[in-house]
Amino acid sequence: MSEDNKNKNREWNISTRVTQLGRDPFKHFGFINTPTYRGSTVLFPTVEKLETLDQAYTYGTKGTPTTRALEEAWTKLSNAHDTVLVPSGLAAIDLALLTATRAGAHILVTDSVYQPTRSFCDTILKKFGVSVEYYDPLMGKNIADIIRPETTAILVESPGSQSMEIQDVPEISEVARNHDICVILDNTWATPLFYPPHDRGADIAIEAGTKYLSGHSDILIGLVSANQKWSKRLRSTFNSFAIGASPDDASLALRGLRTMALRLRTQEKAGIEIARWFKKQNEVAQVLHPALPDHPGHDLWKRDYLGSSGVFSVIFKPVEKKSLDAFIDSLQLFGIGFSWGGFESLVLPFDCQSYRTATQWRTVGPAVRFSIGLEDVDDLKEDLRLGLNYLSL
């Protein structure tokens, strides 16, 4: 690779770009990966340099070459203007919300939001005088009807956590733009590889890098990207809190980035295959996967998304809780636990009914979320097939 043609990443396809972005071997003696720089103090060679802060790095809270490498890679992947790294996906959402709200502001939050985001809104934001209103994720441009003069932000999450509603982000963003409102998108499910967040209208996008970027369930990290309009305010809020991700976690996330396209494509294919398989099973009432044609959001998904990841939900026919639990407990290849996006398949029973406020969540039977990992698809199907026997007992 010659020095001259290093910066042409943008024209390459995504699978190539994830291997190239965020590294500069000849700044590091030719080593392929950006090293892990740990540090608090950064020395200045002279008082003049100290007083003008005229160098690339000034203090550990402002970043290191390792964290900056990931920030820059993510900014390019997301077609954003800037990115900051924080220690978890939830911290990313909190930082975005604190950037786009103030005392006395009103914000609109999708009723399908990740439940811990709802907790942050209902406790911390309320405590600081922000009024939080939940809205129907399917309302699209009708969101204009509930905007107030003091509305400063609209939070969208598509697909909705667990319930998988696809939101019309371009339409909501157009309404928001006309009212100078910040659109914050939780893009964790699709990642910028399958949904370029800022091209679809988001001002600020967050990603729980804990999931598909990491890919190995061994780190927690959050990324917040912003367009030009919002990046200065985002960076300034970030600097005030000084809640950066560690260089070690950034380094593991950069390692995850190299295989992210490969893993996502494999998990997409396996996810669709298993979702289709579930649809054919007697015990299943409904499969909530946006890439399946009978999903209510399928047309929007097809219009706006470049792919689907390996997470989807299944609604079973009514069955006793102990049978459902026995089914889940019997699975050999699906871990029971929170989060997703790693190499190991995961399963999680859920019920959004208790905390929804703007919409009702009603299903004929119990709901279960699956995150498909990197195991052999036939093995996964066989494990599920044997497990389903517990549902027909």
Ligand X SMILES: *Cc1c(COP(=O)(O)O)cnc(C)c1O
Question: C-beta of 112: minimal distance to ligand X in Å?
Answer: 10
- CA dist., res. 296 & res. 311, Å (int): 17
Question: C-beta of 340: minimal distance to ligand X in Å?
Answer: 7
CB nearer ligand X, residue 86 or residue 181: 86
Instruction: Kindly state the tokens that stand for 328.
Output: 């889940």
For the chain, where are the alpha helices, taking DSSP H only?
A: 14-20, 47-52, 65-77, 89-99, 115-120, 126-127, 169-178, 191-194, 228-241, 247-279, 298-304, 321-330, 377-388
Instruction: Kindly state the tokens that stand for 131.
Output: 């009024």
Question: C-beta of 90: minimal distance to ligand X in Å?
Answer: 4
User: Using CB under 6 A as the criterion, what x/- string covers residues 146-185 for binding ligand X?
Assistant: -----------x---x------------------------
Question: C-beta of 310: minimal distance to ligand X in Å?
Answer: 13
- CA dist., res. 281 & res. 62, Å (int): 53
User: Using CB under 6 A as the criterion, what x/- string covers residues 110-149 for binding ligand X?
Assistant: ----x-----------------------------------
Question: C-beta of 79: minimal distance to ligand X in Å?
Answer: 21
Closest CA to 61 of 246, 254, 250, 204: 246
> Closest CB to ligand X belongs to which residue?
89
Instruction: Give 225-247 as a DSSP string.
Output: EE-HHHHHHHHHHHHHHT-PPPH
Q: How many residues bind ligand X (CB under 6 A)?
A: 14
Question: If binding is defined by CB under 6 A, does position 208 make contact with ligand X?
Answer: yes
For 212-320, where are the alpha helices, taking DSSP H only?
A: 228-241, 247-279, 298-304
Instruction: Kindly state the tokens that stand for 191.
Output: 């990642």
User: Using CB under 6 A as the criterion, what x/- string covers residues 66-105 for binding ligand X?
Assistant: ----------------------xxx---------------
Question: C-beta of 339: minimal distance to ligand X in Å?
Answer: 5
Binding residues for ligand X (CB under 6 A): 88-90, 114, 157, 161, 186, 188, 208, 210-211, 220, 222, 339
